[in-house]
Structure 1
Amino acid sequence: MTTTELAPWPRLTGSEPCRAPNADPNDWTGTPKQRQEGQLACLLNCPEATRAQCLAWALDHPSKAGAAIWAGTTLNDRRRLRKERSTASEA
């Protein structure tokens, strides 16, 4: 029997842009324009190890991740990545 273990919630250090004291929650969950700002902030300022953990979590928990920015990815980015991951596992 094969089981798939889902990625755990990322270990955050507090230095991530989404955890900064002046972070605007709309940068992660607001309008598409606001989410672009969050996406850019994440890609420029979030530690790479944290981004990897956040991406794994968001890919494994799509309903919880929703349309918010996770690891610098949009909902459509993650849909594409899940499809690629699914196709690769079938090969």
Structure 2
Amino acid sequence: MSARLAQFPRFTGAEPCQGPDVDPDWWTSRDSFDRAAAQLACRRCPLATFEGCLAWAVDHPAEAGDAIWAATTPSRRAQLRCEFATTASKEPK
């Protein structure tokens, strides 16, 4: 993980999570079908926004909480943090 934390993603209002046909509760629901719907919506997001959401959620685990961010669950983001930490420790200084 980098020493610099990612900024909160900039939304335009055109993202799938902002659409009128989605339930905003999908991203924080405990229901597996709701969470799957949120993940599918995230996968339709423009790449730049998707990457911004992922970077923010990985860098801010407490704020991201148990919600779906960039189609990832909290456990997947924890795995990514471990992978980033391992990669960063192997980079030459």
* Same fold flag (TM > 0.5): yes
**1:22-41 alignment runs, 5 A limit:** 22-33=21-32, 34-41=34-41
The TM-score normalised by the length of structure 2 is: 0.87
Deviation above 6 Å: which 4+ runs of structure 1? Answer: none
Deviates more, 1:26-35 or 1:50-59: 26-35
TM-score normalized by the length of structure 1: 0.89
Query: Structure 2 matches for 1:10-49, cutoff 5 A?
Result: 10-33=9-32, 34-43=34-43, 45-49=44-48
CA deviations over 1:13-64 (Å, ceiling 9, x no partner):
1111111123212210002411111001111x21111000000000110000
For residue 5 of structure 1, report the CA deviation from its aligned partner.
1.7
Question: Sequence identity, in percent?
Answer: 50
Matched residue, 1:64: 63
Count of aligned residue pairs for this structure pair: 88
Structure 2 gaps of 5+ residues are none
